[in-house]
Structure 1
Amino acid sequence: MADEFVEKEGESNKPKSPMRGQYKFYTPEMRYNIGKHAAEYGNKSATQKFSTPEKKLSESTVRGMKKKYYEQLNAQKKRKVDDTNFDDSDNEQVLTPKKRGRKVMLGEDLDKLVQQYITGIRKTGGIINTSIVMAAAKGIVTSKNRLLLFENGGHIEITRTWAMSIMKRMNLVKRKGTTSKKVTLMENFGEIKDKFLSNIVKLVKENKIPPELIINWDQTGIHTVPVSQWTMEIEGSKRVEITGFDDKRQITGKFAGTLVGDFLPMQLIYGGKTDMCHPKFSFPSSFNITHSENHWANAETMAEYINKIIVPYIDSVKDEKDFSIRQKSLVIFDCFRGQITDEFLSLLNKESILYATIPPNCTDKLQPMDLSVNKCAKDFLKEQFQQYYANEVTKQQEKGISVEEIKIDLSLTNLKPLGARWLLKLYHFLKSNPDTIYNGFHKAGIAEAVGYCR
């Protein structure tokens, strides 16, 4: 879901938090007169002279104005010494107060450029989310001085918190959008978990299944432009629009791992009716690149997954570990309807594959891939996107294109092959981090239940 940013309008229905009392306002001319009077006649005299029944002037405020008056007076004297042509009559008798609040992290000039860029995207109807804001800021800073960035030894660390901060300063508000109701964990979850784990332990012990052949898979939606479950919307509005959240810009990825921490080749399902919807990219032959009309998994894609990913992997493990050809394996998956058809279960039985299903509404607690891999994968892909976006902004800035005129190509034609490249990098990353895979089984309680610990 896109965390899109829009301009704030109207009043929020959200209760306002308690606020400090209003600051008393004094014009620059009045501040000068108060400071000068305090310097000549004392703080108490200034307090009495300039206080009114409606606005009482505190002595601490007077002290600050007197200090500022002296600083300005000393500066004038220094200029008079340095410049013989300096004329006292040219000096304005005003004291301008300091700007309230902390200094912006990027500095005024760079911060202004980022805001101009964001404004430009909004004017053309483009999507603004934290990923894009962070990437754009990194690109703009890099084009000016890359040594300012934290990763290059500088003081500027561009984070999601900072991105949200600049959105707030631009008078934009954040709202959460969702396409489904939040699932509430049932009260008897402990009992359900025990039954689930007992079933796995029984299957493993009765069939002497080694940890190398205990496999979990899960499928997850992958956005072409990485987004989150947060959207930016007009404050006070009752409906939250999820801009850019549609099936045409998503694919389905199927991730699988084993109890020992091995990560299997991926199945990637693109949306379309023919192979023409696949990206122009050479994936490894061990991958299963397929499609369905809506990019969702179905009975056909599940059969492909078993025949092209699971069975070849199991066979390779049996050969490598010298297991019997009749050695059974165990797969763990959720209750997706495309996975529990008679044809699908018959295919598993034919390949000597036993199965255990995740109880309904327990995916976020008992699905190993969901517990350790899915978020890691999406964060990795988001980082790849941000790096690409930042590089594009930098290139255009270095060519002399103004921030308001920068255009990043986010078309499917451009992003599909890029996304494919990032997915391959993700595969190698997860393949080289077996602890990430194992941690999912550990968090679900499966590792301890079957007596396997790394």
Structure 2
Amino acid sequence: LDWSFRTTTRAAQKLPENVEEILTEAALREAHLIRKYDIPAALRVNTDQTQTVYQQGTNTTWNKKGDRQVPAVGIDEKRAFTLVPSISASGELLPFQAIYHGATPASCPDRKSPFYTEAEQLGFRLEPSKSDTYWSTMAMMKSLVDDVIAPYFECKKNELGIEDPDNQYSIWKIDCWSVHKSKEFLSWMRTTHPKILVIFVPGNCT
């Protein structure tokens, strides 16, 4: 089986009993929207959020046999930021958003950091959370949509030569994060970006 002894990293996630049904319904719902509104691959984007630990530790290491105390560097490291990547169904990677815990740009990478200028030219958004966490907030989601997602869709509509770009729908697939599902955010999306259809990756199915 090509197995090896491993140290567990987390409890196994329990999938819903009807996971196949849930995923099938989600796929059919998305297919229906694509067909109904004639949405090309370039106008379908999936966004994720991932915690990025600055110094990833581990609870295993090599040490002398018999020692009762086995130290490891970084095992208690908690500092991290949130990376928010997006990619279209046509395979185009959108500019990243990175969210850092803090109230000012001083919490973000220094402008003199290696490759900072390149990241800036690529449209990356390096933003302080202005909250008590580095996870995405309502304000950060608005920034992502206004500065990355919506501009990408508008640019692609022009590139694709859409006859009536103002009435062309796009699909944005996101996960079931509490902010994403909130009435406040979804109402804002319907009001501010009515041609972007928000759909969700089914919860507890990944």
Provide the secondary structure at the position in 1 that maps to 2:197. Answer: strand
Q: Superposed, which structure 2 residues align to 1:103-252 within 5 Å?
A: 175-178=7-10, 181-227=11-57, 230-232=58-60, 243-246=75-78, 248=79, 250-252=80-82
Q: CA deviation at 1:174?
A: 7.2
Q: 1:204 to 1:291 in 2, by over 3 A?
A: same
Per-residue CA distance 1:7-61 (angstroms, 9 max, x = gap): xxxxxxxxxxxxxxxxxxxxxxxxxxxxxxxxxxxxxxxxxxxxxxxxxxxxxxx
Q: Percent identity?
A: 25
* Alpha-carbon separation, structure 2, partners of 1:177 and 1:201: 36
Unaligned runs of 5+ in 1: 1-172, 365-454
Q: 2:169 aligns with which of 288, 303, 328?
A: 328
TM-score (norm 1): 0.37
In structure 2, the residue matched to 1:359 is 202
Q: Is this contact kept in 1: 2:55–2:77, CA < 8 A?
A: no
Q: Is this contact kept in 2: 1:211–1:260, CA < 8 A?
A: yes
Post-superposition, which runs of at least 4 consecutive aligned residues in structure 1 deviate over 6 A? Answer: none
TM-score (norm 2): 0.79
Q: 1:342 to 1:187 in 2, by over 3 A?
A: closer
Per-residue CA distance 1:171-220 (angstroms, 9 max, x = gap): xx974344xx3212223211111111011011111111111101100010
Q: CA deviation at 1:346?
A: 2.6
Q: Is this contact kept in 2: 1:332–1:358, CA < 8 A?
A: yes
Q: CA deviation at 1:308?
A: 0.6
* Alpha-carbon separation, structure 2, partners of 1:188 and 1:287: 39
Provide the secondary structure at the position in 2 that maps to 1:263. Answer: coil
Q: 1:197 to 1:175 in 2, by over 3 A?
A: closer
Unaligned runs of 5+ in 2: none
Q: Superposed, which structure 2 residues align to 1:254-273 within 5 Å?
A: 254-273=84-103
Structure with the larger strand share: 2
* Alpha-carbon separation, structure 2, partners of 1:174 and 1:318: 48
In structure 2, the residue matched to 1:253 is 83
Q: Superposed, which structure 2 residues align to 1:262-341 within 5 Å?
A: 262-281=92-111, 282=116, 283-285=119-121, 286-292=123-129, 293-323=132-162, 324-341=165-182
Q: Superposed, which structure 2 residues align to 1:16-31 within 5 Å?
A: none
In structure 2, the residue matched to 1:344 is 185
Structure with the larger helix share: 1
Would you say how many aligned residue pairs link Structure 1 and Structure 2? 182
Residue 232 of structure 1 aligns with an amino acid whose one-letter code is: T
Q: Is this contact kept in 2: 1:318–1:325, CA < 8 A?
A: no
Q: Is this contact kept in 1: 2:43–2:170, CA < 8 A?
A: yes
Residue 149 of structure 2 aligns with an amino acid whose one-letter code is: I
Q: Is this contact kept in 2: 1:176–1:231, CA < 8 A?
A: no
* Alpha-carbon separation, structure 1, partners of 2:161 and 2:202: 34
Residue 359 of structure 1 aligns with an amino acid whose one-letter code is: P
Select the structure of larger CA radius of gyration. Answer: 1
